[in-house]
Amino acid sequence: MLWVIIAWPKKSDFILNNSFDVIVIGAGAAGLMCAIESAKRNKKVLVLDHAKKIGEKIRISGGGRCNFTNLNTHPSKFISENPKFMISALNQYDQYDFIKLVESYNIKFHEKKLGQLFCDESSQQIIDLLLSECEKYQVRINKEFIVEDIYHSNELYNVKSVDHLLSCQSLVIATGGLSIPKIGASKFGYDIAKQFGLNVISTSPALVPLTFNEDILKICKELTGLSVDAVVSFGKTLFQEGMLFTHRGLSGPSILQISSYWKLKHEIQVNLSPDIDVYEYLLQKKSANSKQDVQSAISEIIPKRLSQIICDNLNVRGKIIDISNKLLNKLSLFINSWQLNPMGTEGYRTAEVTLGGVDTKEISSKTMMSVKYPGLFFIGEVVDVTGHLGGYNFQWAWSSGYVAGQHT
């Protein structure tokens, strides 16, 4: 039977049930995974969450179909102060292990692109899978529970609310990051880490749209809704995927990906025609004595709306044969190497994940347990491990949750 309790038992009954082997704070992907694995080992497990609904971030992910993992999962797809930290967890529980679990529940899924796996029907299927596993292994889940204090005493971790005091041998913090506060994101996990003297790497929004000054924003607004295949780069890091113009700035997969690497007051570079050297293309047109209008020629390699705005902004008009090579080069550089200096990001409101978190130096990569406090675990997004777009962050949740569950 699955325990999904909104109100706690009466105090007289509660006293008999205030001690657990494992308490997991956070009923998201990582937290539920850990709870299930702990309970498989015959541990008495309680999951606490402040929200009314379980797994909201799972529910809204992937446009409601949950991009639950990626076939190409590899440590190189993650960002951390320690790029090797996630290797152990990913080896202990990889993408194929979670795929087996999904298949065991007869959940149909498909690969969208670049190894990204989505449910055919609904992300609710992944939530139901996790809750079914919790029921199977008698994990108790309490929603709308507000933690007031946590402290360590007599080799036990104590979790206090206004009315109740719980104790456990193993305490797992799986409260996520700061992204999407409207569904309950908070700095709770970071505060607990700091309370116990653990270092926390500075956080920032990641996988998030970028914003720009008025001149660039004007272009973006005129092109709102237009998506193009583009290579977006920052330093030596680049991504070739779709880029979307919006009324707020730039978004789409390539922008979201680069946002995790971009630093404020630094430029990014956008190639709007990654497969064609535009200058060579225009010179060939010119050498053939082409009387084609330059905007018409550009429209053959990028969308017409975009070519019109670029030509208007650079004041390049007329037949290719009549335009100087210098001006053609200026036009080609804009298309193949558009230099942009973002003003910032849309922030945690729309960020898919949080960059930074609990310092991996404070945690064992083999167990996810604090090196200073035996029995204290940190898993999922609260840790300084951030995946690329495309199901990698869910895989980190499954992997880190699984590993912690073997050692609680």
User: Contact 386/260 with Cβ under 8 angstroms?
Assistant: yes
Q: Domain with 277 in it: what CATH number? A: 2.40.30.10
Residue-level pLDDT at 163: 87
Q: Is it the case that residue 9 has pLDDT exceeding 70?
A: no
User: Contact 362/193 with Cβ under 8 angstroms?
Assistant: yes
Q: What is the mean pLDDT of the chain?
A: 94
Extract the tokens encoding 250: 């730039």
Q: Is it the case that residue 48 has pLDDT exceeding 50?
A: yes
Same-domain pairing of 163 and 179:
yes
Question: pLDDT tens digits, residue range 145-203?
Answer: 999 999 999 999 999 999 889 999 999 999 999 999 999 999 999 999 999 999 999 99
Question: pLDDT tens digits, residue range 231-285?
Answer: 999 999 999 999 999 999 999 999 999 999 999 999 999 999 999 999 999 999 9
Reported as a pLDDT band with limits 50, 70 and 90, residue 17 is low
Same-domain pairing of 106 and 254:
no
User: Contact 93/30 with Cβ under 8 angstroms?
Assistant: no
Residue-level pLDDT at 289: 82
Domain that holds residue 245: 209-346
Residue-level pLDDT at 73: 98
Question: pLDDT tens digits, residue range 218-229?
Answer: 999 999 999 999
User: Contact 45/174 with Cβ under 8 angstroms?
Assistant: no
Which of 331, 346, 361 is at the close of a domain?
346
Same-domain pairing of 156 and 220:
no
Same-domain pairing of 90 and 234:
no
Same-domain pairing of 79 and 228:
no
**Cα(106)–Cα(1) distance, rounded to whole angstroms?**
21
Same-domain pairing of 259 and 166:
no
Q: Is it the case that residue 6 has pLDDT exceeding 70?
A: no
Q: Domain with 102 in it: what CATH number? A: 3.50.50.60
Same-domain pairing of 76 and 171:
yes
Same-domain pairing of 198 and 214:
no
Domain count, the chain: 2
Which of 327, 346, 365 is at the close of a domain?
346
Reported as a pLDDT band with limits 50, 70 and 90, residue 5 is very low
Burial level of 157, CB count in 10 A (0-12/13-18/19+)? buried
Q: Is it the case that residue 12 has pLDDT exceeding 60?
A: no
Same-domain pairing of 25 and 148:
yes
- Which of these, 69, 97, 185, lies nearest to 406 by C-alpha position? 97
pTM above 0.85, yes or no: yes
User: What are the φ/ψ torsions at residue 99 (nearest 5 degrees)?
Assistant: -60, -40
Same-domain pairing of 341 and 365:
no
Which of 346, 362, 381 is at the close of a domain?
346
Same-domain pairing of 393 and 366:
yes
Contact residues for 200 (Cβ-Cβ < 8 A; gap 6+): 190, 193, 194, 356, 357, 358, 359
Same-domain pairing of 163 and 224:
no
Reported as a pLDDT band with limits 50, 70 and 90, residue 2 is very low
